[in-house]
């Protein structure tokens, strides 16, 4: 069974397999079924987001004993942003297991960033309900090990927007411009995507649970892009 393969990949065998099915069910499928008794993953996504915040906070608090609150918040925001969650979802081939409506399937829903990030949070919520906080912590520790290692090797910036401003102003009087280009999710669980532009071109893009966090992620992406280009 495909679900058994996914359980092996994530290292958790569900005692309540209906939780896994709910985590994988996109709202489009429930809508196609007319919502008559059909469940989808938005409630589990809501729960999984809270579990992710708790388990990541616990992990980075232990791993970075010398970081002040501001840096800890920044690390957590980076790990919990939509792009990171999408990467983690892709690493476990989560898109392959999604249960989608026909329209969502036809429009490339298995590879859509928002679907993957949402389902990943829903999966964590399902693991928490099925196995408790210990199972959730085990999953997060295994899943975010590579991300945490990379962050430890490249210490996160205290103020990406400020650093980007200084870097660009040393080259030109033109200031970076931030724009929120996309907003998804229900009111209680919004996600924002922002871009930063300079001299008429996009130099960075990022996502976050608030407009401010999305802009910080965009600034970080711009700085990383400039560093890779040797600028």
Asked if 220 is an active-site residue, the reply is no
From the list 45, 104, 118, 121, the catalytic residue is 121
Tokens found for residue 19: 């939780």
From the list 49, 118, 130, 193, the catalytic residue is 49
How far, CA to CA in Å, does 43 sit from each of 79, 93, 210, 230? Answer: 21, 22, 20, 44
Asked if 121 is an active-site residue, the reply is yes
Integer Cα distance of 22 and 105 in angstroms = 17
Q: What is the SS3 assignment for 145?
A: helix
Integer Cα distance of 11 and 225 in angstroms = 35
Integer Cα distance of 218 and 144 in angstroms = 21
Q: What is the DSSP letter of 100?
A: -
Helices and strands in the chain: count of H runs, count of E runs: 11, 3
Residues recognised as catalytic: 49, 121
């Amino acid at each position: 069974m495909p679900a058994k393969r996914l359980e092996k990949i994530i290292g958790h065998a569900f005692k309540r397999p209906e939780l896994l099915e709910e985590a994988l069910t996109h709202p489009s499928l429930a809508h196609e079924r007319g919502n008559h008794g059909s469940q989808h993953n938005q409630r589990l996504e809501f729960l999984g987001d809270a579990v992710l915040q708790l388990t990541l906070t616990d992990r980075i608090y232990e791993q970075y004993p010398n970081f002040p609150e501001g840096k800890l918040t920044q690390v957590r925001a980076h790990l919990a942003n939509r792009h990171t969650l999408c990467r983690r979802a892709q690493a476990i081939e989560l898109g392959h297991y999604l249960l989608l409506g026909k329209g969502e399937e036809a429009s490339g829903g298995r590879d859509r960033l928002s679907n993957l990030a949402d389902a990943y949070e829903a999966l964590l919520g399902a693991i928490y309900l099925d196995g408790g906080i210990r199972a959730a912590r085990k999953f997060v520790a295994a899943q975010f090990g590579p991300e945490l290692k990379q962050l430890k090797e490249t210490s996160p910036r205290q103020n990406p927007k400020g650093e980007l401003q200084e870097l660009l102003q040393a080259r030109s009087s033109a200031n970076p411009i931030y724009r929120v280009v996309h907003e998804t999710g229900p009111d209680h669980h919004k996600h924002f995507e922002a871009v930063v532009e300079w001299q008429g071109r996009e130099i960075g893009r990022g996502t976050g649970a608030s407009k401010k966090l999305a802009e910080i992620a965009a600034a970080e992406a711009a700085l990383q892009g400039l560093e890779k280009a040797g600028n």
